[in-house]
Amino acid sequence: AENVGILAIDIYFPPACVQQEALEAHDGVSKGKYTIGLGQDCMSFCTEVEDVISMSLTVVTSLLEKYGIDPKQIGRLEVGSETVIDKSKSIKTFLMQIFEKYGNTDIEGVDSTNACYGGTAALLNCVNWVESNSWDGRYGLVVCTDSAVYAEGPARPTGGAAAIAMLIGPDAPISFESKLRGSHMAHAYDFYKPNLASEYPVVDGKLSQTCYLMALDSCYKHFCHKYEKFEGKQFSLSDAESFVFHSPYNKLVQKSFARLLFNDFLRNPSSMDEIAKEKLGPFAALSGDESYQSRDLEKASQLVAKPLYDEKVQPTTLIPKQVGNMYTASLYAAFASLIHNKHSTLAGKRVVLFSYGSGLTATMFSLRLRDSQHPFSLSNIARVMDVDGKLKSRHEFLPEKLVETLKLMEHRYGAKEFVTSKDSSLLSPGTFYLTEVDSMYRRFYAKK
Ligand code: ACO
């Protein structure tokens, strides 16, 4: 199979949202901390009728319908999620309800879990499958679905929720440059979920930021090394049209891109203009550890990187800033933002993505965008996703509603024998929602 990659994408995020500015006031933090400090505008959240299973049912059904895909044509289905609802039964098996109806039970794949990285593991599995000898000619389907919720405190404004589905096959408008991948995997306790009775993670915020940036440096080094090996020349930021990052909050994305620019400077100072050399020169001798701690370097590199950031990163930030951290879906929501904003000018261009999951696992990989036939074209993907329409039709709640919902969910998580309000008034037609969990913990969903 040639040009294996992403043929089609759809995205779903819950209609309930809260403005970060309102959260700042509610939480009593200084004005601008969440909007400028974290760089976030708004945050979507699941009300008591939505969860990772309902969102993934919604997005898979919608993708199949909108691109006219026969459910029998799916041969592999992989889910990435870190929102564990059942320690044994995968989310993938819930999604099988869609395919069983059409007599298709011959579908490989289960769930992948490692913090925000599970979606990337699922995606690489599907791409590898289509590129392999075991491929049977049918499509792969990848689903990333998460509800990111934190205990009260500084991490709460970095929540969010969404599900993304991506159809995988040959001759794709978004094809993988499969040789160009660099990974970094290590043991760390930066963010983890050891308390199985709670949906909230244990998080060391500062450590998670450093782990993220260290993993980024390491992946970029491996990525550049492979690029040089296969392309016979040095890689730099100018070799890709856009850079897409896992986006816990926008400020970290700004810092990450600046960090890549600093890497380029260290590898090849002569490639930089005079102003960059002058601003970054003083930091050239810092050790790795010192460089992660240096606020001055952070500020200087962000300043130097600003024009390139506006060109190569800003178009990827729309959905992550509006919806928040979507864990496994975050990176792909950032990529979807790029398609939404720039679909008409991306053909022929390379886009580099960085996936990070705490604990920790990370991969940087490369995509090549191409013109291709309807319905699998960049412009049709942008049309189907209807990002503007979905953002506009959200319902804004006051922070009190978020707090009240999270309180209720603290009791509902892992619980049995309850019925939900079944209130689907906010949901658009075709959306799945949770109606009941019975005395055997079995979950039931309805479709609006
Ligand atoms: N106006 C403008 N900026 C402000 C203001 C203000 N009024 N107040 C604070 N800031 C800035 C700070 O200077 C800081 O920016 P800087 O990093 O450029 O210096 C930023 O806002 C955040 O302020 P902090 O005091 O550092 O924030 P805090 O420690 O309270 O929380 C954190 C931030 C650690 C990110 C927290 O939200 C968290 O733990 N989130 C979850 C973990 C996470 O997302 N980690 C990322 C990788 S792992 C993953 O994806 C889950």
- Dihedral sign for Cα 265, 271, 277, 282, please: positive
Q: Which residues face 350 on adjacent strands?
A: 368
Residues with a catalytic annotation lie at 82, 116, 246
Contact at 8 Å (CB) between 20 and 36? no
For residue range 184-225, what is the model confidence (pLDDT) as tens digits? 999 999 999 999 999 999 999 999 999 999 999 999 999 999
Residue nearest to atom 38 of ligand 1 (CA): 155
Ligand 1 atom closest to residue 157's alpha carbon, by position in its atom list: 37
Tell me: is residue 255 an annotated ligand-binding position: yes
Ligand 1 centre and the CA of 29: distance in Å?
12
Percent of the chain with pLDDT over 90: 99
Which CA distances in Å does 261 have to 79, 215, 246, 405? Answer: 33, 15, 17, 41
Ligand 1 centre and the CA of 23: distance in Å?
14
Pocket of ligand 1 (CB under 6 A): 30-33, 36-38, 116, 154-155, 158, 191, 203, 205, 208-209, 212, 248, 251-252, 325, 358
CA 163 to chain centre: 9
Ligand 1 atom closest to residue 211's alpha carbon, by position in its atom list: 47
Average pLDDT of the segment spanning 62-75:
98
For residue range 289-313, what is the model confidence (pLDDT) as tens digits? 999 999 999 999 999 999 999 999 9
For residue range 324-368, what is the model confidence (pLDDT) as tens digits? 999 999 999 999 999 999 999 999 999 999 999 999 999 999 999
- Rounded CA gap, 434 and 49, in Å? 5
- Rounded CA gap, 53 and 46, in Å? 11
Among 254, 42, 264, residue whose Cα is nearest residue 157: 42
Q: Say which residue the tokens 């707090």 belong to.
A: 403
> Quick one: which H or E segment has residue 228?
helix 205-231
Contact at 8 Å (CB) between 302 and 276? no
Average pLDDT of the segment spanning 374-389:
98
Ligand 1 atom closest to residue 206's alpha carbon, by position in its atom list: 34
For residue range 226-277, what is the model confidence (pLDDT) as tens digits? 999 999 999 999 999 999 999 999 999 999 999 999 999 999 999 999 999 9
Neighbours of 421 (CB within 10 A): 12
Q: In the 3-class helix/strand/coil scheme, how is 90-127 assigned residue by residue?
A: CHHHHHHHHHHCCCCCCCECCEECECECHHHHHHHHHH
Among 46, 15, 53, 13, residue whose Cα is nearest residue 446: 53
Residues in Cβ contact with 70 at an 8 Å cutoff, skipping those fewer than 6 apart: 102
Query: DSSP secondary structure string, 301-359?
Result: HHHHHHHHHHHHTGGG-HHHHHH---GGGHHHHHHHHHHHHHGGG-TT-EEEEEEEETT
Which residue type is seen at 298?
A: E
Res. 84 pLDDT band, cuts 50 70 90: confident
Q: Say which residue the tokens 């804004």 belong to.
A: 396
Average pLDDT of the segment spanning 76-100:
97
Res. 420 pLDDT band, cuts 50 70 90: very high
Average pLDDT of the segment spanning 387-408:
98
Ligand 1 centre and the CA of 152: distance in Å?
15
